[in-house]
Chains A and B, each alone.
Chain A
Amino acid sequence: MGNEVENHEEHRAEGVGQHGRSGSEPGNVTTRIRARYGDAAVRGGNAVGCESVIAERDTHLPFMTFLKDDPELSFDYLVDVTAVDRLQLDEEIRFAVVYQLYSYKHNRRFSVSVPVPEADPWIGSVVSVWPGANWLEREVYDMYGIVFEGHPDLRRILMPDDFGSHPLRKDYPLHGKGERDNFVF
C-alpha cells in the first residue's frame, strides 16, 4: 500500500519532468540520515505515506541544520512548525514539536517530530536555520507553552499578552477559565 503511493509520486515526478531522479527514490531521506548518524537516529518511519523521523531534543539543532544544508537533502523550506499534546494518548512524553519540511530542489517532503517533556518544556529554536520559523514558533509557544530557546522575540502571537494559559493544551477547558468574561481594557 505504502509502496503504491510512493510509486505513484515517483511517476508523477517523472511526468512533470522534475530534475534529480535520484531525489525521488523512496526511502532516500532516511537512508541518507542513516549514513550520517547511524541506525539509532532513524526512528519513526512513515506517517501517512510521508517519510518522517523522531529526533532528540538535545541534538535536534545540528540535525535540522544537516537536513537543510546537506546537498542530497536540502530541505530549504520549513512549511510548518506545530505541536501535539498527547495527554490522552499512551505516550511517555507529553508534547511533540513537529516540523514539516519541503525541498524545492528534490520536490520532496519530510517531517521531524521531537518529543518535549511537560516538566521542562523547552526546545532549541530553528530561527537561525529557517528565519520563517519565527512566527510559527511564537504560535506554538502561545498555544502550548513550549519555550523556544534562542528565539529572537518569543512573545505571544495570537492571544493577548496578559492571557495566562496555553489554550491548545488538552487540559485547558474549551470555554476557558473565565478570561472571556473578565478581561480588562
Chain B
Amino acid sequence: MGLEDQLQENVMTTKVDAMVGWARKNSLWPMPFGTACCAIELMATLASRFDLARFGAEAIRFSPRQSDLLVVSGRVSIKMMPVLKKIYDQMPEPKWVISMGACASSGGVFNTYTLVQGVDQYIPVDVYIPGCPPRPENVIQALIKIQEKVAQAKAN
C-alpha cells in the first residue's frame, strides 16, 4: 500500500517469530559440558582456525543461566548425570542441546557398568554428532542444524 512507498527501503515488514528466530540463531550462547576428549575438539572449533564466531556462537558461557545451547561433549557417568541434569534444568527457556560424539550419544566404546549409554535417556537432545571425536566441521554442521531449528521456533 501507500505506506511502503513512503518508507521505501528503510523498513522491512516481517513476523515477530521470524525476527526473533533470526536474532536468536545468530547469537547462540553455548554452555560446554566437556567431560572428555570431545571437549578438546570443541575448543578447536571455537579457536581461530575454525572460528565459531562466524556463526555468532563464540560467547561460551560457563554459567547455565546465561546460555541457551548445551553441548554435551564427552562421557557422562552415572555419578555425573545428576550434574548434567541440574545444569540443563538451570538453563532458561528456550534451550537446545547438542550431543557431541559417540560417548554422549550412545556410550561409545565404553559399554561398561558406570557409563550412561546415551544422555538422551535423561535430557532431550536436538542434534547428535557422530564421530570419535567429531571433526570441527561436524560441529559446525551441527550448529547450522541447530540454527535451522532455532529459526523455526516460536518466539514466546
- Flag if B82 contacts A175 (CB, 8 Å): no
CA separation between A174 and B78, bound complex, in Å?
A: 15
Q: Chain A contacts of B114 at CB under 8 A? A: 159, 167, 176, 179-180
- Flag if A167 contacts B113 (CB, 8 Å): yes
Q: Is A37 an interface residue (CB 8 A)?
A: no
- Closest A-chain residue to B79, C-beta based? A160
- Flag if B85 contacts A175 (CB, 8 Å): no
Q: Is B71 an interface residue (CB 8 A)?
A: no
CA separation between A40 and B55, bound complex, in Å?
A: 73
Q: Is B143 an interface residue (CB 8 A)?
A: no
Q: Which of B82, B113, B115, B117 touches A185 (beta carbons < 8 Å)?
A: B82
CA separation between A176 and B113, bound complex, in Å?
A: 4
- Flag if A183 contacts B113 (CB, 8 Å): no
CA separation between A35 and B15, bound complex, in Å?
A: 92
Q: Is A172 an interface residue (CB 8 A)?
A: yes
CA separation between A185 and B81, bound complex, in Å?
A: 8
Q: Is A38 an interface residue (CB 8 A)?
A: no
- Closest A-chain residue to B81, C-beta based? A185
CA separation between A185 and B116, bound complex, in Å?
A: 13
Closest 6 CB pairs of A and B: A176-B113, A185-B82, A160-B79, A183-B78, A180-B78, A167-B113
12 contacts between A and B (CB under 8 A): A159-B79, A159-B114, A167-B114, A172-B113, A173-B113, A174-B111, A174-B112, A179-B78, A180-B78, A180-B116, A181-B117, A183-B81
